[in-house]
């Protein structure tokens, strides 16, 4: 009998697996792909946000702030790169400055260090900013990581701790019984006391295998332009526009690998099938970026990619035990700031939900 099955080797499942293996030996991770981090975790901006963006009293705010505080140490523990490059939110006009005022206020409430700069001050630290911008908010704690590397390191270390990882093994059915779950994959049948569903874009389908689905996922696509590592950097920091209701907007992002990203856009879609990225949407992103930052060497574009954000109606993370199927835990709707939040979510739910659940399951059937 397996103690805990974790479904999905994205950054969420991998870090949950790692945290669990620190305290329980008999933990198994199942991933349908041949490697970790090939889905949402491998297709995003890879930013450890400062924590001032999510609305107050949300799981996104709670875990982003906790994650930001613990990330540097966590990255050391996992031997994965972490770089505190900082970020600027750029206001193009006086109306947008009101949003910077609000973010500044929120940063104060959340004890996040930020600095407000005028146009002149901002241009002196990032000379390629568009000279017409009005003001910026500097968020020096913002960092970048490589979420795919982080996930594979978490799994490696989880295996060293005694856990087991199964790749190219897809969960196809889960039958709850009184004492355990009977979990069927494309390769075999397993019995587990606890199941933790971290299936990303498929998390609603996994929950529906055991009982009534408590949420439906929707998808928001985000496309990117990738610039060669040979492209001269046009900014040292991440450059954000003032966010809109659709999200953080089109950014300029230096990455750990030395490539720079321009993107993502945000388009609600009915599925997560990858389609070619059209020049029209690339041109639209370039137009948006040009309002913030000049001299981007688009001729050194080497790639384009798309990521899909799994979303739920209230725009927050879903982290719960199924209301009518005890011991089945779901972590879903983990869109941004999921990378920034992952270590905090993993550590917190391990200690407050999953391990107490395992203890109670073992006591019930002593
Ligand atoms: C465009 C975009 C930009 C973003 N930018 C940022 C950012 O800058 N900062 C930030 O903090 N967050 C960002 N995010 C959010 C972040 O990428 C996600 O929160 C995070 O990657 C979610 O990880 P996950 O483990 O939940 O999902 P995934 O990485 O999708 O992992 C789920 C895994 O489950 C596996 N799986 C599914 N079904 C099964 C099954 N039946 N059997 C076995 N395995 C299964 C899948 O193969 C997959 O590997 C962004 C997201 C997008 C799309």
Give yes or no for residue 137 having a pLDDT over 80. Answer: yes
Distance in Å, CA 341 to ligand 1 centroid: 12
Residue 296 has φ and ψ, to the nearest 5°, of -75, 125
Which of 243, 359, 317 lies closest to 66, judged by CA? 317
Tell me the mean pLDDT in the region 297-314: 96
pLDDT recorded at residue 213: 86
Mutate to test the pocket of ligand 1, among 339, 343, 344 (most ligand atoms within 8 A of CB): 339
pLDDT band, residue 247 (cuts 50/70/90): confident
Q: What is the C-alpha R_g of the chain?
A: 21
Residues 7-29 pLDDT 10s: 999 999 999 999 999 999 899 99
Tell me the mean pLDDT in the region 110-128: 97
pLDDT recorded at residue 120: 96
Q: How many CB atoms lie within 10 A of CB 274?
A: 12
Residue with CA nearest ligand 1 atom 3: 44
Instruction: Please give the Cα distance from 227 to 194 (Å, whole number).
Output: 44
Q: What percent of the chain stands above pLDDT 70?
A: 100
Which of 152, 207, 199, 222 lies closest to 176, judged by CA? 207
Sequence-distant (6+) residues with CB within 8 A of 142 are 47, 48, 49, 50, 84, 85, 86, 87, 237, 238
What's the chain's average pLDDT? 97
Which residue ranges form the domains of the chain, and what is each CATH number? 2-45+147-217+314-364 (3.50.50.60), 87-140+218-311 (3.30.9.10)
Tell me the mean pLDDT in the region 35-42: 98
Tell me the mean pLDDT in the region 296-312: 97
pLDDT band, residue 310 (cuts 50/70/90): very high
Residue with CA nearest ligand 1 atom 19: 338
Tell me the mean pLDDT in the region 183-201: 98
Give yes or no for residue 246 having a pLDDT over 90. Answer: no
Tell me the mean pLDDT in the region 53-68: 97
Which of 74, 66, 33, 59 lies closest to 200, judged by CA? 33
Give yes or no for residue 366 having a pLDDT over 80. Answer: no
Q: How many CB atoms lie within 10 A of CB 64?
A: 28
For the CA of 8, the closest atom of ligand 1 is: 34
pLDDT band, residue 365 (cuts 50/70/90): confident
Active-site residue identified among 49, 149, 166, 322: 49
pLDDT band, residue 211 (cuts 50/70/90): very high
Residue 125 has φ and ψ, to the nearest 5°, of -95, -25
Give yes or no for residue 204 having a pLDDT over 80. Answer: yes
Instruction: Please give the Cα distance from 88 to 74 (Å, whole number).
Output: 24
| Local structure of residue 200 (DSSP, 8 states) | G
pLDDT recorded at residue 245: 76
Instruction: Please give the Cα distance from 44 to 144 (Å, whole number).
Output: 11
- Per residue in 44-63, is it b (16+ CB within 10 Å) or e — as a string? bbbbbbbbbbbeeeebbbbb
Give yes or no for residue 150 having a pLDDT over 80. Answer: yes
Contact 212, 344 (CB under 8 A): no
Mutate to test the pocket of ligand 1, among 152, 174, 199 (most ligand atoms within 8 A of CB): 199
Residue with CA nearest ligand 1 atom 25: 10
Q: How far is CA 221 from CA 145, 199, 267, 273, 305, in A?
A: 21, 18, 5, 10, 10
Asked about 49 being catalytic, the answer comes back as yes
pLDDT band, residue 244 (cuts 50/70/90): confident
The model's pTM is 0.98
Which of 25, 10, 15, 39 lies closest to 306, judged by CA? 39
């Amino acid at each position: 009998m397996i103690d805990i099955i974790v479904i999905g080797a994205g950054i969420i499942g991998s870090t949950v697996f790692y945290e669990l293996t620190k305290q329980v030996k008999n933990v198994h991770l199942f991933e349908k792909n041949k490697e970790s981090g090939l889905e949402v975790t491998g297709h995003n901006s890879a930013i450890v946000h400062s924590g001032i963006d999510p609305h107050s009293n949300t799981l996104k705010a709670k875990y982003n702030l906790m994650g930001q505080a613990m990330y540097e140490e966590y990255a050391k523990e996992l031997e994965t790169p972490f770089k505190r490059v900082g970020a600027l939110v750029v206001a193009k006009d006086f109306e947008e400055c009101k949003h910077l005022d609000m973010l500044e206020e929120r940063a104060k409430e959340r004890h996040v260090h930020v600095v407000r700069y005028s146009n002149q001050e901002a241009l002196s630290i990032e000379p390629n900013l568009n000279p017409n911008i009005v003001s910026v908010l500097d968020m020096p704690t913002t960092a970048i990581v490589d979420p795919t590397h982080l996930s594979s390191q978490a799994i490696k270390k989880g295996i060293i701790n005694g856990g087991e990882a199964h790749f190219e093994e897809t969960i196809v059915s889960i039958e709850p019984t009184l004492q355990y779950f009977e979990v069927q994959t494309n390769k075999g049948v397993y019995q587990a006391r606890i199941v933790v569903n971290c299936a990303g874009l498929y998390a609603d389908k996994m929950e529906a295998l055991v009982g009534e689905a408590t949420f439906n996922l929707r998808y928001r696509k985000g496309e990117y332009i990738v610039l060669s590592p040979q492209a001269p950097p046009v900014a040292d920091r991440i450059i954000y526009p003032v966010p809109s209701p659709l999200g953080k907007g089109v950014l300029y992002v230096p990455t750990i690998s030395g490539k720079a990203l321009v993107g993502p856009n945000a388009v609600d879609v009915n599925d997560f099938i990858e389609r070619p990225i059209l020049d029209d949407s690339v041109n639209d992103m370039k137009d948006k970026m040009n309002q913030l930052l000049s001299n981007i060497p688009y001729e050194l574009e080497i790639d384009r990619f798309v990521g899909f954000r799994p979303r739920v109606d209230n725009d927050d993370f879903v982290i719960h035990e199924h209301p009518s199927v005890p011991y089945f835990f779901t972590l879903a709707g983990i869109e941004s700031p999921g990378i920034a939040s992952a270590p905090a979510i993993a550590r917190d739910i391990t200690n407050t939900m999953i391990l107490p659940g395992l203890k109670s399951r073992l006591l019930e059937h002593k």
